[in-house]
Amino acid sequence: MRRSTALRRVLHGLAIVVALSATVATSQRRWHVEAPEVGAAAQSLDAAQPGAVRRFRVAARPPLAGYDGAHARVTLQGTATWAAPPGATGTAVLRVVYTGLLRPDAQASSEVVLRPGEPLALSAVGDVDVSRCVEGRECGGIVGVEVTWPRPEGRVELAWTAAATASGTPERRRAEPSGDGLLVIEAMP
């Protein structure tokens, strides 16, 4: 009788482990690849050059390129600092436009306000569609940010970094993207 009870407990424990494993293991894990963050050379805005453009190239390589539903999520982060001329008061207003991003979720509005000497963080997140690439070929897109200073007074220093990640649902009968180098982001000159 005791042996029977012990056997039942063992079977019960085994059944729980198998059921839990079946429950958890059968759900497909999303895949995930990322490109290392890159920085770009600093830019200055002043009366002589009141606008600047910074572009980054996002490239996906097979099997990420052309993978069904694959989007590269690009995060652009920047800092703007206004070096105001002596005696300047008030603020500097910059116009910021992000380009090349599908559905950009810009945390900075299209106009940002700088105060003298206070660095202001700028950021935008958006997608680059890499699912429509021709299968087997590297492809991607160019994302960028254009900053203009309509009424320059003194100098504004700009610095940008960019990073990209991609994730998606595994497709049947197709190797899921994994490993280094599948997604690259680099600053363009």
Partner 1 sequence: MIGTRSDGLDRPLLVAPAPLLAIAALLINDHVLKSLATGDAATWVTGKVSDVAGLVYFPLLLLALLEPAFGPLRERRHVRVAAIVTGLGFAAVKLWPIATAAYGITWGAMQWVALASIAAAIGDDAPHLLPVACVADPTDLLALAGLAIPWFGRDCDSGTGADRGEARRKSSELAGEFPEAKHSTILVRPI
Which stretches of the chain bind partner 1, using CB under 8 A?
Answer: 5, 8, 11-12, 15-16, 18-20, 22-32, 167, 169-170, 172-173
CA–chain centroid gap for 138, Å, is: 19
Please give the Cα distance from 50 to 47 (Å, whole number): 6
To partner 1, the closest distance from the beta carbon of 27 in angstroms equals: 4
Pick between residue 99 and residue 169 the one whose CB is nearest to partner 1.
169
Pick between residue 10 and residue 113 the one whose CB is nearest to partner 1.
10
* Residue 65 DSSP code: T
To partner 1, the closest distance from the beta carbon of 183 in angstroms equals: 14
Pick between residue 24 and residue 48 the one whose CB is nearest to partner 1.
24
Pick between residue 25 and residue 48 the one whose CB is nearest to partner 1.
25
Burial class (CB in 10 A: 0-12, 13-18, 19+), 65: buried
Burial class (CB in 10 A: 0-12, 13-18, 19+), 64: buried
Residue 74: closest CA among 177, 7, 162? 162
To partner 1, the closest distance from the beta carbon of 126 in angstroms equals: 20
To partner 1, the closest distance from the beta carbon of 31 in angstroms equals: 8
